[in-house]
Amino acid sequence: MQRSSWLGLAFLSPALIVVFLFFLVPVVLTGFFSFTNMSTATGVKGGAYVLNASGLRALTDAGLPKSTLEQIEGAGYRVDAKGLEALALDFGKPVAEEFAKLHEGEVFSKRRDVERALKDLRSNPIRKTRDRKQAADLFKRSLMNERFDSPTAFEAALEEAGIPETDRPLITEVAYTGWVWTTDNFGFLFSLDSTWQYAKNTVIYVVFTLSFNVLFGLFLAIATFYLPAGQAAAFRAIWFLPRILPPVLYIVMWRWFTWDTGFISTVLSGFGVPPRNWMLDTEFHAWTTIVLINGFVGASMGMIVFSSAIRAIPASMLYASEVDGASRLQQIWYIILPQLRWPILFITSYQTMSLLTSFEYIYLATDGGPGGATEVWALAAFHTALNNYGGNLQYGLGATYALILVVIGLLASLAYLRLFNFRNLLVKPRIEG
């Protein structure tokens, strides 16, 4: 490599670091998460070993013998230090000490046996049957809902409870509450009807918002081009407002605008239209608002890019078309639009990318409603992984949604890059190297 190339690389290094930190690392992490079953339940660190009711059900389904299941549920009554301590606390030290002397280390299989042993104590302050029952329960030992921090501790407990060795591995696996590697997310995701609904929503969202962005941006750019400079600047500034407004504020304004006591309802009530929430009352209204909200923001960007591209057209070319007899519309159609081809392609590809992955305005406006009608893929990924009402955040599944989006984005970028490269093949570099 030449010296200058190294120098170039050195200049680029801050950018490379940023790309690495904010693009590459998230993508790699997304890929990593999507092959796990991580969720709130499993945590993101390693897990503990606990058997609960649903674990027991899973074991039943797995065909574990009934006897083993019973052993798990009721591992008997063990007179151990922990139970004795509890006994001393509830019924006094003497009782506990005597019970320890007589039975420490013993295992009773039935509660009644424990009760009898308690009744037989010489210093017998536990008179009531109910109290005795309670006291006996202090020694009840079960594998259910008991937390073990390591597999060895859990296996030891299984052994102690006398569970057959052949059944132990399966039980250990089911009892594990941490995350594991899996490829099930992908199959599961595509088996869901809602996934296809998200895909459809995303297509609607991208196609309509993109069309609005590009066409409206073009319209604004061309319209302001023909206005006197002062008016054009004012007009552009107005259309630029949505972009520089903080998104939350912008959405709050839209909400107020569409609220059932908001602007539209108030105005229309004058005409006898009953007030309603114009954003969320129908799917059509929800989509219209979403497209407009995003479109106004996106159009300003198109407007700026197209405006500067139009102004880069030499004035004499526009003069020429006028003396050649072209009307305004013909001038736009034959002279201006053809020269905007590459800016239009650029904006289209750029906006496709950002729309595919953007959901913040939808999240703030409809949050996917009504009834999931505007839940786009990226929002679904967010909801699944980071924000849902069920409370169980499924990081793994959410990451799978995100990963698929990354793949689609990469493919689309490649397609667009090819388009741009195609241009480079046609146009030789202006400055020859």
Q: Which residues bind other proteins (CB under 8 A)?
A: 314, 316-317, 319-327, 330, 334-335, 338-339, 341
Q: Which is nearer to other proteins, 149 or 324 (CB)?
A: 324
Q: State the nearest-atom distance from the C-beta of 345 to other proteins, in Å.
A: 14
Which of 187, 192, 190, 184 minimizes the C-alpha distance to 35? 184
User: Whole-number minimum distance, CB 304 to other proteins, in Å?
Assistant: 22
Rounded-to-integer distance, Cα 195 and Cα 52, Å = 31
SS3 of 148-212: the string is: ECCHHHHHHHHHHCCCCHHHHHHHHHHHECCCCECCHHHHHHHHCHHHHHHHHHHHHHHHHHHHH
Q: How far is the CB of 426 from other proteins (least distance, A)?
A: 11
Under 8 Å between Cβ of 378 and 403: no
Least distance in angstroms from the C-beta of 334 to other proteins: 7
**Listed residue (407, 410, 382, 375) closest to 397, CA to CA:** 382
Return the closest-CA partner of residue 93 out of 134, 108, 112, 101.
101
- Shortest spacing between CB 419 and other proteins, in angstroms: 17
Taking the complex as a whole, the smallest distance from the CB of residue 393 to other proteins amounts, in Å, to 53
Residue 248: closest CA among 125, 364, 397: 364
d(CA 77, CA 141): 5
Specify the pairing of strand 107-108 against strand 77-78: antiparallel
Q: Which is nearer to other proteins, 317 or 410 (CB)?
A: 317
* CA–CA separation, 37 and 181 (whole Å): 7
Cβ proximity to other proteins: between 53 and 329 the closer is: 329
State which residue, 265 or 331, has the beta carbon closest to other proteins.
331
Q: Which is nearer to other proteins, 36 or 321 (CB)?
A: 321
Nearer to other proteins, 118 or 335 (CB): 335
